[in-house]
Amino acid sequence: MRTKLMFQGANNNLGEALQFLREYDNEASSMCTRVTEAQWLYATNITEQNRKRMVDALSLQAKLDRVSWQKVIQFSWSSLPDPMARRQLQMLALKGRAALPQEKQNEVRK
């Protein structure tokens, strides 16, 4: 199926893929904590300053997602011998694509 082959590059180095997944896991989970805290703070104390903190946290998270996606699609994930890494990278690759604006999606598809 064609979709399986999209959004991936040439890097089939399993060590690098696992390394990326470890780093991503750490960064994404601490980012998630930050966002959750900032959202909670704003929900319980609605001030302009807290709103700004929440917006900043969300935009940092979006940036991390974009940067991570750029890395994910360097990997030739469908050819990795580790089923877990393959599935995680595939998920990230397809999830990231869905988050892109429509014209970017088309651009990427070319």
49 near ligand NAG (CB under 6 A): yes
Range in contact with ligand NAG (rule: CB under 6 A) among 5-13, 15-23, 25-33, 45-53: 45-53
What is the rounded CA–CA span in Å between residue 85 and residue 43? 36
- C-alpha–C-alpha distance, residues 29 and 9, integer Å: 25
Indicate the residue among 50 and 68 with the shorter CB distance to ligand NAG: 50
Does 102 engage in binding with ligand NAG (CB under 6 A)?
A: no
The reply on whether position 47 binds ligand NAG by CB under 6 A is yes
Distance CA 48, CA 25 (A): 31
User: Which tokens hold the place of 68?
Assistant: 């991570």
Binding site for ligand NAG (CB under 6 A): 45, 47, 49-50
